[in-house]
Amino acid sequence: MTQAADHPQAQAGEMVIVKVGGSAGIDYDAVCADIAALWKAGQRLILVHGGSGETNRVAEALGHPPKFVTSPSGYTSRFTDRQTLEIFEMVYCGKVNKGIVERLQRLGVNAVGLSGLDGRIFEGRHKDSVRAVENGKVKVLRGDHTGTVEKVNTELIELLLNAGYLPVLTPPAASYEGVAINVDGDRAAAALAVALKADALLLLSNVPGLLRNFPDESSLIASIPANDVESYLEFAQDRMKKKVLGAAEAVQGGVRRVVFGDARAGLPVSAALGGAGTVVS
């Protein structure tokens, strides 16, 4: 176990949180096969997933196209009115979550899929309004179902883990009043990693890691010092910004290692555990 500090390979007994995004190109079959092999070898882990790309497709097909807003500080997020929330739940909690649970069950892993609403696994404040920049002006939009994870029900997760179940978690979260709120999956995974004192947090998406010159994949930033994560925000585009923010929150919360890895092929989880991608430590 003394090797763990200098060799970025997780050891059996360590807890790893894997977050896999919902963008085009992500290979869920490869992710699940890798997770099943690691799980059977004794790795303790929890999977958190997204579903953004598929939510956009289903929302278009149902005649309620997605709406994204950009905050004055440059973060992009989905505007989640009630109808969007229901479509979001259909895709994240229905199609994507049960598709992953089914893949893992077929591979002999007894997975249990839950949203943050279930047992209030993810809990936070409901933000009903959002400040958005439109045509250079800041507007306030109301009727949003959004928020940030502030509390994690670690008891329920540990109950499942200790009974041999692999938790597969997804937004939405529950507000303190019990209302469903859309929360960022990367930051939810970071909050989970902090709450469980996880050894590693892997944020897997459809790029090789944080790129100095996006989208030039040869400009991969191989490592980021834990005490200086936020200064790398300038290299992050769009959705990568929340990953960098999540990484900063995780390492500030005591998680020893965060890796931005590639979920498009191969053994995405093992590769990230082995240090492929951008390692924050």
Chain contacts with a copy of itself (rule: CB under 8 A): 58, 61-63, 86, 89-95, 97-99, 101-102, 104-108, 110-115, 117-120, 155-156, 159, 163, 165, 172, 174, 177-180
Considering beta carbons, is residue 35 or 273 the nearer one to a copy of itself?
A: 35
Say whether 78 counts as a known binding-site residue: yes
Work out whether the CA dihedral 106, 109, 115, 117 comes out positive or negative. Answer: positive
Say whether 162 counts as a known binding-site residue: no
DSSP secondary-structure letter at 226?
G
Report in angstroms how near the CB of residue 99 gets to a copy of itself at its nearest.
7
**In 21-165, which ranges are E strands?**
44-49, 68-70, 76-78, 111-116, 122-134, 137-152
Considering beta carbons, is residue 94 or 275 the nearer one to a copy of itself?
A: 94
Nearest CA to 191 among 176, 204, 181, 201?
201
Residue tagged 């959705």 (tokens): 239
Considering beta carbons, is residue 27 or 89 the nearer one to a copy of itself?
A: 89
> In Å, how far from its chain's centre is CA 78?
15
Report in angstroms how near the CB of residue 155 gets to a copy of itself at its nearest.
7
- Which residues does the annotation place in the binding site for substrate? 78, 182
Residue ranges of the annotated binding site are 78, 182
